[in-house]
């Protein structure tokens, strides 16, 4: 019997993607479509005193300009504007009033018959402001740092754990100490596809919305609540998403504006943002961290203090888990952890690939490297010496943790044993060579979800759930799981997602979709199997008349007797006997909280990196890197490898290239283009290798998977920074490590 | 509150040059004839319409992607007379009397283009949004004939950003089609 889970199956949406047939939110052909162009605030704080729209409106083909002055009445309460990923606070409402809260705030939407005309008309609109002083300079306002407000989101993002032991005493007594301040700039997700919504105005005021989102039902909820519409009148579809990396976890403002225009004009409307406008909503927050580590001479870490300060907006308290990781990675008896926010005149930050994890863990892992150097102990040895099979703060054992194996296999593949520990010890021509390594960790979580499985009239299996595939491979792995569960050839299985009409699924992010939706798909297919077996048993002259479910298996699109597989009924036959009607089953999968609460659950990784640093120019290149991942069961080694490689590229980007630069004179991100916001191009990426170590986990979820979207990025930035130290002897704690910091 | 900033003209990617044409009149539309994937299309277009917008908005050939509209990302790469160009930096009216090939025209009667097959086999994509541009760019790069080594491919494919970070697999796929020794 052929099985698919665990095999390097090609993406089932591959042909659609390589032929240009895959349709993204702005690409649906809609009759009588009109185009919206968003006008963005030039100032960061103040009040609009006047918007002159006459010139634009006089142009033939310009239909309307929507501003705060002519928008319809909408929902009153903050609650109506809260989406599934809304942090505590008062969500931003586009066109609410004349107040400007951040630079680039959408203040008007021009709607015209063509895209070009809308864009031109936008240039004719004149806005007058009363300007107020804005505060966007993070470091200048650290004194205003305060504890984050708590809310529903705090359940998924708990505040730092209480202190353990006595940090002050232990640190003071520690013979070996390191301390440092770590900084990284704001970063923007910049998926290749810009945010867009195509709102189709249907008969009876119903809306069908093609939206760029990581949760079709999240956008549906938002639109329904804000515009006071019934769920059944709002359908959101997001079959393909051109990358998101967290930016699609909240509905973005083009959705609001497109829906508003469509309802007011009773016409279909499309609104796409520009690349510049992709810098006017959520981003990874600038964060400053102080870390102090104390250790004994033999390398036992005895004390840690980790304090983080992050920015948020004036209206919402976005938080992430930055300082909680040390207790999950190291058995340090004395720890003190704090996390505070500084509200500024910027848009609310937003989850971006490994939010918090790739902020806090790299700082910690650089400090560990510094400690290893100071102690004269190999960085891998120091980590093995301080290894833990328990999460110290939760005081729970790990459901599985093959991090040791990651160290062993990663080091072997990389050739770590040949490392000369002395910085500046290796040269290649005019470049200095450095080798560094670091550990990565990310939560392995599971949420509740529903899925429907249907055996169609032509004997094929169709499975659906309202989740998303942002390039992660959801379509493919769900198809594999469904095919295996009911013993169907993969070509006869169709998995559909990204439609709010489908069974309930949470927003796709945080590396939890394989576990969450995968479990739902498995359960739905199992339930469908039970139903089909019952039907088969009732068929005339059924060979299963005396069999139980345990006596049969599903293989080759048949139900077969385990004891004699030649005794079989084809699934097609069952449908035919069902009066030609499809057979369907919708099921819910919920995590087994009683079992899960006894364990800590995480994916782990170890990254090994070689850098080449040009001594004269300060340029850094990652020439090769190996990441070994303990991520539970690997459903599809081909797409899994892509996920980890992508994460490694993001790690290189974070360590060496990416930063959004604010000009505080304007309170605006100035490098708001793909020419000036640097992300790796092909030539920046050299030889990357991925290892998946065997890891069996019977606790984490029924599939034994841990999710791979985040774990690939977490270890890389510190491994690179540590390699730069090894190459140059310079410890750079401010990311990205650009050449100016090395000269 | 400190000062009245005065009137600010909003930033746009296209601002009217005074004197180029009378203020607030719209450019006239003309018949533009484009040969795309072997088919001749006649469109009524104003001169300000880019080749990218002509493809996506007027011909609904949405395989060609818009990732920045500024020639910075390569997602809009198409082949004009066999050469790769950024269609967002090209006005449609300029490309009459040329042969335009987009991702939709790459597969032949006998199935997918070898690069399309190789991209699938090597998983040389994730979200798929940059993929048509990557493939068209790779066709153009192979036509140019300058890529001899893996590093050449990396350098010559650097006009096409893949934010998902599929570069290693993109290089593998192109190498396979070029039958380059991957250790070169």
Q: Which of B13, B131, B157 shows the shortest C-beta gap to A119?
A: B13
pLDDT tens across A423-445, in order? 999 999 999 999 999 999 999 99
pLDDT tens across B118-158, in order? 999 999 999 999 999 999 999 999 999 999 999 999 999 99
Those residues whose C-beta lies under 8 Å from the C-beta of residue A568, and which sit 6 or more positions away, are: A543, A558, A559, A560, A561
Statement: residue B105 has pLDDT above 50: yes
Cβ B129–A24 below 8 Å, yes or no?
yes
Cβ B123–A638 below 8 Å, yes or no?
yes
Strand order in the sheet with A106-112: A62-66, A106-112, A34-40, A269-272, A196-201, A207-211, A234-237
Q: For chain A, what percent of residues have pLDDT higher than 70?
A: 100
**Chain A: nearest CA to B97, how far in angstroms?**
24
Statement: residue B181 has pLDDT above 90: no
Q: What is the pTM of this model?
A: 0.96
Mean pLDDT within A532-544: 94
pLDDT of residue B13: 38
Q: Chain B residues with CB inside 8 Å of A61's CB?
A: 26
**pLDDT category of residue B6 using cuts at 50, 70 and 90:** very low
From residue A592, give the alpha-carbon distance in Å to each of A152, A328, A596, B181. 21, 22, 6, 51
Q: Where exactly are the structural domains of chain B?
A: 30-104, 114-178
**pLDDT category of residue A2 using cuts at 50, 70 and 90:** confident
pLDDT tens across B32-68, in order? 999 999 999 999 999 999 999 999 999 999 999 999 9
- Identify the residue among A8, A15, A20 best suited for mutation to test binding to B, counting B beta carbons within 10 A and taking the highest: A20
- Segment 35-54 of chain B within 8 Å of chain A by CB: 46, 48-49, 53
A686: nearest CA partner in chain B: B168
B166/A contact by beta carbon, under 8 A: yes
B148/A contact by beta carbon, under 8 A: no
Cβ B155–A682 below 8 Å, yes or no?
yes
Cβ B165–A648 below 8 Å, yes or no?
yes
pLDDT of residue B19: 43
Q: Which of A20, A126, A681 shows the shortest C-beta gap to B63?
A: A20
Q: Which of A26, A243, A641 shows the shortest C-beta gap to B163?
A: A243
Q: What is the ipTM of this complex?
A: 0.97
pLDDT of residue B23: 62
Q: Chain B residues with CB inside 8 Å of A653's CB?
A: 165
Rounded (10°) angle between helices B167-178 and B114-121: 140
Q: Which CATH number fits domain B30-104: 3.40.50.460, 3.40.50.300, 3.50.50.60, 3.10.20.30?
A: 3.10.20.30
**Chain A: nearest CA to B141, how far in angstroms?**
14
φ, ψ dihedrals at A14, nearest 5°: -65, -50
**Chain A: nearest CA to B142, how far in angstroms?**
16
Cβ B2–A132 below 8 Å, yes or no?
yes
Check if the beta carbon of residue A363 is closer than 8 Å to that of residue A291.
yes
Q: What is the CATH number of domain A25-133+191-274?
A: 3.90.1170.50
Percent helix, strand and coil across chain B, each to the nearest 5: 30, 20, 45
Candidates A324, A401, A422, A452; CA nearest to A600 is A401
**Chain A: nearest CA to B11, how far in angstroms?**
7
- Segment 123-142 of chain B within 8 Å of chain A by CB: 123, 125-132, 135
B182: nearest CA partner in chain A: A687
Cβ B7–A128 below 8 Å, yes or no?
yes
How deeply is A97 buried, as exposed, middle or buried, from its count of CB atoms within 10 A (0-12, 13-18, 19+)? exposed
- Segment 10-39 of chain B within 8 Å of chain A by CB: 10-16, 24, 26
**pLDDT category of residue A140 using cuts at 50, 70 and 90:** very high
Angstrom distance (rounded) from CA A319 to CA A154: 8
Strands B83-86 and B77-80: antiparallel
Cβ B12–A645 below 8 Å, yes or no?
no
pLDDT of residue B8: 38
Q: Chain B residues with CB inside 8 Å of A471's CB?
A: 125-128, 164
Cβ B73–A674 below 8 Å, yes or no?
yes
Angstrom distance (rounded) from CA A18 to CA A29: 20
**For tokens 């390589």, what's the residue?**
A18
Residue contacts between A and B (CB atoms, under 8 Å):
244
Mean pLDDT within A465-492: 98
Looking at the DSSP assignment, which residues form a beta bridge with residue A396?
A: A391
Cβ A274–B69 below 8 Å, yes or no?
yes
Cβ A471–B126 below 8 Å, yes or no?
yes
**pLDDT category of residue B1 using cuts at 50, 70 and 90:** very low
Statement: residue B9 has pLDDT above 80: no
Statement: residue B16 has pLDDT above 70: no
Q: For chain A, what percent of residues have pLDDT higher than 90?
A: 98
End-to-end CA distance of chain B: 64
Q: Chain A residues with CB inside 8 Å of B86's CB?
A: none
pLDDT of residue B110: 84
Q: Which CATH number fits domain A450-465+478-590: 3.20.20.140, 3.40.50.300, 3.30.365.10, 3.90.1170.50?
A: 3.30.365.10
Percent helix, strand and coil across chain A, each to the nearest 5: 30, 25, 45
Q: Chain A residues with CB inside 8 Å of B67's CB?
A: 192-194, 275, 674
Mean pLDDT within A249-257: 98
Candidates A192, A123, A103; CA nearest to A677 is A192
From residue A664, give the alpha-carbon distance in Å to each of A134, A138, A139, A324, A345. 8, 10, 12, 31, 10
pLDDT of residue A154: 80
Angstrom distance (rounded) from CA B12 to CA A120: 8
Mean pLDDT within A104-122: 98
Q: Does domain A141-187+283-445+597-742 have CATH number 3.30.460.10?
A: no
Supply the residues of A annotated as catalytic.
710
pLDDT of residue B10: 38
Statement: residue A214 has pLDDT above 50: yes
The 10 Å Cβ neighbour count of residue A462 is: 17
φ, ψ dihedrals at A197, nearest 5°: -135, 130
The 10 Å Cβ neighbour count of residue A313 is: 23
- Average pLDDT value for chain A: 97
B65: nearest CA partner in chain A: A193
SS3 A579: coil
Q: Which of B1, B103, B159 shows the shortest C-beta gap to A132?
A: B1
Q: Chain A residues with CB inside 8 Å of B160's CB?
A: 681-682
Q: Is the dihedral of CA A74, A78, A80, A84 positive or negative?
A: positive
pLDDT of residue A156: 84
Q: Which helix (H) or strand (E) holds A40?
A: strand A34-40
Check if the beta carbon of residue A274 is closer than 8 Å to that of residue A267.
no
Looking at the DSSP assignment, which residues form a beta bridge with residue A50?
A: A128
B63: nearest CA partner in chain A: A20
Cβ A15–B120 below 8 Å, yes or no?
yes
Cβ A639–B171 below 8 Å, yes or no?
no
Q: Does domain B114-178 have CATH number 1.20.140.10?
A: no
A35: nearest CA partner in chain B: B57
DSSP code at position A254: H
Angstrom distance (rounded) from CA B95 to CA A535: 63
B66/A contact by beta carbon, under 8 A: yes
B74: nearest CA partner in chain A: A192
Check if the beta carbon of residue A469 is closer than 8 Å to that of residue A638.
no
Statement: residue B108 has pLDDT above 90: no
Candidates B62, B13, B17; CA nearest to B36 is B62
Mean pLDDT within A695-701: 97
B50: nearest CA partner in chain A: A116
């Amino acid at each position: 019997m052929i099985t698919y889970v665990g095999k390097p199956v090609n993406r089932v949406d591959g042909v659609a993607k390589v032929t240009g047939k895959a349709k993204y939110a702005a690409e649906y052909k809609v009759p009588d479509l009109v185009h919206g162009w968003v006008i963005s605030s030039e100032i960061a704080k103040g009040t609009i005193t006047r918007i002159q729209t006459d010139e634009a409106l006089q142009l033939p083909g310009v239909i309307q300009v929507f501003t705060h002055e002519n928008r319809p009445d909408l929902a009153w309460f903050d609650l109506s504007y809260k989406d599934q990923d809304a942090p505590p606070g008062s969500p931003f409402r586009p066109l609410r009033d004349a107040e400007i809260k951040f630079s680039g705030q959408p203040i008007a939407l021009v709607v015209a018959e063509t895209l070009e005309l809308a864009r031109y008309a936008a240039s004719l609109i004149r806005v007058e402001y009363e300007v107020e002083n804005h505060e966007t300079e993070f470091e200048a306002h650290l004194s205003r740092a305060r504890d984050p407000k708590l809310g529903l989101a705090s359940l998924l993002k708990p505040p730092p754990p209480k202190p353990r032991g006595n940090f002050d005493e232990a640190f003071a007594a520690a013979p070996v100490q390191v301390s440092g301040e770590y900084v990284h700039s704001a970063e923007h997700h910049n998926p290749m596809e810009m945010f867009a919504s195509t709102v189709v105005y249907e008969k009876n005021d119903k809306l069908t919305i093609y939206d760029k989102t990581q949760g079709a039902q999240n956008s549906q909820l938002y639109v329904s609540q804000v515009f006071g519409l019934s769920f059944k009148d709002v359908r959101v579809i997001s079959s393909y998403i051109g990358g998101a990396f967290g930016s699609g976890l909240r509905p973005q403002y083009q959705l609001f504006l497109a829906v508003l225009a469509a309802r007011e004009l009773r016409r279909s409307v499309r609104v796409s943002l520009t690349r510049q406008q992709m810098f006017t909503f959520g981003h990874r927050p600038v964060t400053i961290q102080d870390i102090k580590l104390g250790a004994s001479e033999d390398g036992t870490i005895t004390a840690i203090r980790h304090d983080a300060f992050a920015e948020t907006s004036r209206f919402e308290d976005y938080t992430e888990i930055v300082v909680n990781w040390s207790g999950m990675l190291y058995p340090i008896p004395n720890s003190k952890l704090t996390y505070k926010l500084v509200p500024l005149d910027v848009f609310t930050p937003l989850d971006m690939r490994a939010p918090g994890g790739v902020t806090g863990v790299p700082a910690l892992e650089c400090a560990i490297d510094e400690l290893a150097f100071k102690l004269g102990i190999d960085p891998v040895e120091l980590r093995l010496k301080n290894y833990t099979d328990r999460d110290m703060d939760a005081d729970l054992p790990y459901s599985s943790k093959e991090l040791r194996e990651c160290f062993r296999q990663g080091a072997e593949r990389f050739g770590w044993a040949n490392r000369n520990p002395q910085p500046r010890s290796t040269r290649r021509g005019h470049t200095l060579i450095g080798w560094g390594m670091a550990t990565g960790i990310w939560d392995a979580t599971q949420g509740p979800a529903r899925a429907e499985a249907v055996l169609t009239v032509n004997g094929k299996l169709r499975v659906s759930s309202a989740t998303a595939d942002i390039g992660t491979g959801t379509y493919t792995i769900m198809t594999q799981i469904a095919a295996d569960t009911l013993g169907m050839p993969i070509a006869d299985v169709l998995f559909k997602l990204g439609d709010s009409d489908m069974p309930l699924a949470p927003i796709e992010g945080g590396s939890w979709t394989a576990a969450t939706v995968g479990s739902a798909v498995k359960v739905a297919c199992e339930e469908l199997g039970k139903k089909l077996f019952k039907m088969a048993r009732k068929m005339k002259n059924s060979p299963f008349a005396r069999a139980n479910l345990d006596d049969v298996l599903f293989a080759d699109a048949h139900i077969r007797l385990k004891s004699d597989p030649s005794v079989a009924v084809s699934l097609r036959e069952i449908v035919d006997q069902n009066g030609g009607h499809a057979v369907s089953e919708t099921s819910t999968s919920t995590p087994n909280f009683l079992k899960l609460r006894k364990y800590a659950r995480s994916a782990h990784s170890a990254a090994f990196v070689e850098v080449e640093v040009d001594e004269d120019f300060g340029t850094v290149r990652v020439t090769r890197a190996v990441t070994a991942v303990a991520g539970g069961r690997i459903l599809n080694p081909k797409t899994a490898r892509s996920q980890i490689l992508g994460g490694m590229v993001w790690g290189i980007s974070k360590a060496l290239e990416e930063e959004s630069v604010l000009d505080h004179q304007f309170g605006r991100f100035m490098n708001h283009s793909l020419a000036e916001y640097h992300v790796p191009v092909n030539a920046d990426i050299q030889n990357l290798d991925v290892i998946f170590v065997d890891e069996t986990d019977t606790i984490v979820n029924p599939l034994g998977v841990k999710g791979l979207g985040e774990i690939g990025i977490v270890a890389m930035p510190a491994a690179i920074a540590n390699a730069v130290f090894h190459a140059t002897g310079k410890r750079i704690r401010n990311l990205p490590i650009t050449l100016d910091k090395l000269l | 509150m400190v000062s009245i900033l005065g009137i600010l003209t909003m930033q746009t990617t296209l601002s009217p040059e005074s004197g180029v044409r009378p203020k607030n009149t719209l450019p006239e539309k003309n018949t533009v004839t484009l040969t795309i994937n072997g088919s001749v299309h006649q469109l009524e277009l104003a001169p300000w319409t880019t080749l990218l917008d002509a493809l996506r908005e007027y011909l609904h050939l949405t395989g060609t992607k818009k990732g920045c509209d500024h020639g910075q990302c390569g997602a809009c790469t198409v082949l004009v007379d066999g050469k790769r160009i950024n269609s967002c930096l090209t006005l449609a009216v300029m490309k009459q009397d040329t042969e335009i090939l987009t991702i939709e025209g790459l597969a032949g009667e006998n199935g997918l283009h070898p690069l399309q097959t190789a991209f699938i086999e090597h998983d040389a994509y994730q979200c798929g949004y940059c993929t048509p541009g990557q493939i068209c760019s790779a066709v153009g790069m192979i036509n140019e004939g300058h890529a001899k080594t893996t590093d050449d491919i990396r350098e010559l494919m650097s006009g096409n950003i893949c934010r998902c970070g599929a570069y290693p697999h993109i290089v593998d796929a192109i190498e396979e089609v070029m039958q380059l020794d991957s250790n070169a």
